[in-house]
């Protein structure tokens, strides 16, 4: 498949869209290509549908959401709440990285109330090393993404420090809302968190923090903080 510029990896279908989605929309509007990988469908969260019924619906919603921005979409075969941290998952993520060859990867911050979010995060950076090492033989050739960043998610707040602010605009937000609301969960079809309202307000707050109208913020991995300068002036 054609290379993408950004891959967003979420614990449940919907996470990549809701937390990394504004950045994806911003770059799609600049003509870039993006992909999303959902480690589980998040199928245990519906008030009336069985997990099997909701899994089917969430897969369809994920495909519709991806279609709104022309994203490639990938799924791992794990059950909601049961995503492990092990080499099987890391190699599955590695294979997706090798398939879509992104420059940037966006995923969860580790300090989460959701085990699947934390475990998705903890599969990095090993999944990237596995993707990058030529000497690890997999079906596809190696690929080394330039940068991993942690997207902001209301369920992953513990210790999250916004460090990198991406300026976005009203059109990015409009596209993001169209993408996110492909999910019944984000249309608030049942009593739940006010996702869309929260993330739009957050974009306003993050924008104000860097003197712009709207922004979406990321935490930076510890090993990416080193910067080489030739002068302090």
Which residues of this protein are in contact with Zn ion, per CB under 5 A? Answer: 11-12, 15
For 160, which DSSP code?
-
- Render 166-195 in DSSP notation, one character per residue: EEE-HHHHHHHHHHHTTSTTTTTSSS---H
What's the min distance (Å) between Cβ of 205 and Zn ion? 21
CB 154 within 8 A of CB 162: no
Nearer to Zn ion, 15 or 99 (CB): 15
Nearer to Zn ion, 89 or 131 (CB): 89
What's the min distance (Å) between Cβ of 132 and Zn ion? 27
| Residue 133, C-beta contacts closer than 8 angstroms, at least 6 positions apart | 142
What's the min distance (Å) between Cβ of 187 and Zn ion? 16
| Coil vs helix vs strand at 222 | helix
What's the min distance (Å) between Cβ of 69 and Zn ion? 19
Nearer to Zn ion, 120 or 216 (CB): 120
Nearer to Zn ion, 5 or 152 (CB): 152
Nearer to Zn ion, 115 or 204 (CB): 115
CB 192 within 8 A of CB 134: no
Nearer to Zn ion, 5 or 116 (CB): 116
What's the min distance (Å) between Cβ of 42 and Zn ion? 6
**Edge-to-edge order in the sheet of strand 214-219:** 72-78, 34-40, 6-12, 104-107, 147-151, 214-219, 164-168
What's the min distance (Å) between Cβ of 172 and Zn ion? 22
What are phi and psi for residue 215, nearest 5 degrees? Answer: -150, 160
Angle between helices 170-180 and 15-29 (to 10 degrees): 140
């Amino acid at each position: 498949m054609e290379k993408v510029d950004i891959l967003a990896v979420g614990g449940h279908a919907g996470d990549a869209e809701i937390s990394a989605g504004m950045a994806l929309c911003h770059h799609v509007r600049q003509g870039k290509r993006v992909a999303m990988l959902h480690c589980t469908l998040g199928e245990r969260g519906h008030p009336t549908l069985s997990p099997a019924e909701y899994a089917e619906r969430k897969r369809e919603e994920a495909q519709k959401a991806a279609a709104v921005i022309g994203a490639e979409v990938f799924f791992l075969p794990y059950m909601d709440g049961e995503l492990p941290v092990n080499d099987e998952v890391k190699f599955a993520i590695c294979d997706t990285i090798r398939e879509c060859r992104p420059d940037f990867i966006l995923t969860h911050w580790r300090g989460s109330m959701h085990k699947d979010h934390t475990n998705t995060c903890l599969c990095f950076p090993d999944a990237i090393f596995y993707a990058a090492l030529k000497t690890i033989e997999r079906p596809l050739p190696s690929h080394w993404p330039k940068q991993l960043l942690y997207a902001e998610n209301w369920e992953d707040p513990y210790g999250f420090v916004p460090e990198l602010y991406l300026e976005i605009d009203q059109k990015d937000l409009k596209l993001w809302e169209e993408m996110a609301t492909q999910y019944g969960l984000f249309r608030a079809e049942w009593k739940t968190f006010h996702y869309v309202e929260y993330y739009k307000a957050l974009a306003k707050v993050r924008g104000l923090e860097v003197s712009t109208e709207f922004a979406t913020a990321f935490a930076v991995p510890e090993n990416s903080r080193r910067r080489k300068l030739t002068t302090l002036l």
